[in-house]
Structure 1
Amino acid sequence: MGNGATRMGYREIADELRQEIDSGQLKPGEKVPGENDLMTKYGVEQPTARRALDVLKNEGLVIAKRGSGTYVREFRPIRRVSPDRLKTVVWGTGRSIWSADLGIRPLAQGTEVTTEPAPSIVAHVLGLEEGTAVIVRRRTFAVEDKPVQIATSYYPAYLVEGSAITQANTGEGGSYARLAELGHKPMRFREELRTRMPREHERQTLDLAQGTPVVEIVRTAYTNEDLPVEVNLMVLDGASYVLEYKFSADD
């Protein structure tokens, strides 16, 4: 197009590249034409070529690899299945709730357990006075050493003090099995989801590429008596997950 054709703007160049990606002409993992290639093909200056690539980066379609070039993003989904993962037949028999998920299963890279004053929103959900002590469990989950999820769980300290929930290793069945042993078996759950752009510390922790959103899930666990026993704030790499929900017309 640089030979006598009308010069294209960066949006039109981005549109053509996007169409090539969507059609499969440019396949996942394949290298995308660089700035110099676009300058030659479309007869544009470097700022225009760069802005065209930036559009696709901000849309999460391509990813830049330092010293190598720009590539079509590969999407290898981690399937998070609800509500199967929260059923008693999973954690109640000593299995992790992760075992209900299909395909790749993230592994915890480390667990930090602290006692802290409850933040106002957590205190509200747990029915506590603001500043009441809560046990906080922070974990980062990874697949093949790539962090994909940050999880922070809050438990009323008066319910779980002295239990394995205050330890890094909660034992078979995890925290829900320990809550059941304490007489506070989780039986009902509520999850609220939203997508947003990551905070800087989340971007760094999850090693997110430019333009990658996160999925924020806030799960609250209740006993049969409607006592809230856990608030779990999860931040998921939006480029890594498929969220699957199963329900019937009678649910």
Structure 2
Amino acid sequence: MSPLPSGLLGELDPTSDRAVFRQIADHLREAIGRGRFSEGEKLPSEAELVEHYGVSRMTVRHSFSVLQGEGLVHAEHGKGVFVRPRPPVRRLASDRFARRHREEGKSAFLVEADAAGSHPQVDGLEVKEEKAGPDVSARLGGVRRVLVRRRRYLLDGRPVEFATSYLPLDIARGTQIAEPNPGPGGIYARLEELGHHLHHFEEEIRARMPSPDEVRTLRLASGVPVIHLTRTAFDTEGRAVEVCDTVMAADAYVLAYQLPAT
């Protein structure tokens, strides 16, 4: 077996109180961060790392488990351990809801997919009327019942986010918003056609670990967190016309913002 290239990975520090498997994980993490292993590239095999470090296979496996738990790598049975791709979608918050996109018949997700050069899909669509939960009701000004639109978004066949929109029934009932396909530009275009011209959005973002259902829905690898975003859309009269609750695979997105300095 050929030795690993000189300088590719560090050497163990026998004087360190840091566990050996964590030192190996540190070396691999640093090599990935420095681009010595590119996206999708296979890491050195267990046998190569055993020979390089003079440790057991179990120690190497513990090192790989650390990196998998951090979402940096993924294992393919019978093939090896590979560097996970970095986020492919740049979500530009200051532009994604620009009116010009709606006028072109594009929803925000379609705009992002085009920019990423990816093929967008929507599945798992559900449209129904429900009682509003306390948080949604408060955000929408005390409404009791809402039209709910649930859907999952995919890029190139990979699930990347799951979104649920809540809209007041007096706005959405009996309109194209209540149809499975709301038409070009999505529900925001339909809201504006109904006279609710959008003025601004408020978003709350937090990162957390996913629930078991979210892991299944988004097909998340071990250790990958989610971005949980709650957005409220307001019209020019100051009325909240939609609340959107979105859960995104954190390894699929970069959240980008442009903020004024004045």
Alignment TM-score > 0.5, same fold: yes
Specify the alignment match of 2:261 in structure 1.
249
Q: Which residue of 2 aligns with 1:219?
A: 231
Q: Provide the secondary structure at the position in 1 that maps to 2:96.
A: helix
1:43 corresponds to which of 51, 54, 66: 54
CA contact (8 A) 2:147 2:166 kept: yes
* The 10-residue stretch of structure 1 (214-223 or 74-83) with the greater mean CA deviation from structure 2: 74-83
The answer as to 2:132 corresponding to 1:118 is: yes
**Paired residue secondary structure (1:229):** strand
Please state how far the C-alpha of 1:99 moved relative to its aligned partner: 4.6
Distance in 2, matches of 1:56 and 1:94, equals 42
Amino acid at match of 1:151: A
| Distance in structure 1 (CA, Å) of the matches to 2:117 and 2:58 | 40
Aligned to 2:9: none
1:110 Cα offset (Å): 4.3
Moved more, 77-86 or 7-16: 7-16
Alignment check: 8 A CA contact 1:134 1:157 kept: yes
SS in 2 for 1:239: helix
Question: 1:242 and 1:72, CA in 2 relative to 1: closer, same or farther beyond 3 A?
Answer: same
The superposition leaves residues 154-190 of structure 1 with CA deviations (integer Å, 9 ceiling, x where unpaired) of 1111221100111110012211121122222221101
Corresponding residue number in structure 2 for 1:65: 76
Match of 1:81? 92
Aligned Cα RMSD in Å? 2.2
Q: CA deviation at 1:230?
A: 0.4
1:148 corresponds to which residue?
160
| SS of equivalent residue, structure 2 residue 198 | coil
Distance 1:22 1:94 in 2: 40
> Which one-letter code corresponds to 1:114 in the other structure?
K
Unaligned runs of 5+ in 1: none
Cα distance in structure 2, aligned partners of 1:93 and 1:30: 39
1:98 to 2:109 alignment? yes
Distance in structure 2 (CA, Å) of the matches to 1:151 and 1:136: 10
State the SS of the aligned residue for 2:247.
Answer: strand
The structural deviation recorded for 1:139 is 0.9
Distance 1:45 1:93 in 2: 59
Q: Residue type matched to 2:153 in 1?
A: F
Question: What is the rounded CA distance, in whole Å, between the counterparts of 2:256 and 2:77 in structure 1?
Answer: 34
Contact 2:160 2:252 in 1 (8 A): yes
SS of 1:85's equivalent?
Answer: coil
Indicate the SS of the match to 1:211. coil
Q: Which residue of 1 aligns with 2:36?
A: 25
CA contact (8 A) 2:166 2:244 kept: yes
Name the SS of the counterpart of 1:187 in structure 2.
strand
Structure 1 residue ranges, 4+ long, deviating more than 4 angstroms after superposition? 5-8
CA shift for structure 1 position 36: 3.8
Partners of 1:193 and 1:177 lie apart in 2 by: 24
Give 2:179's aligned amino acid.
Answer: Q
**1:150-165 paired onto structure 2 within 5 Å:** 150-165=162-177
| Cα pair 2:130 2:145 within 8 Å, conserved | yes
CA distance in 2, matches of 1:127, 1:189: 15
Q: Give secondary structure in 2 for the equivalent of 1:236.
A: strand
Tell me, yes or no, if the aligned pair for 1:75 and 1:240 is still in contact at 8 Å: yes
Judge conservation of contact 2:89–2:254 (CA < 8 Å) in 1: yes
Q: CA deviation at 1:127?
A: 1.6
CA displacement 1:87-120 (0-9 Å, x = unmatched) = 2222145332335432235332342101111111
Residue ranges of structure 2 left out of the alignment (5+ in a row): 4-12
Match of 2:243 among 209, 218, 231: 231
8 Å contact from structure 2 (residues 92, 256) kept in 1: yes
TM-score w.r.t. length of structure 2: 0.86
2:141 aligned residue: 127
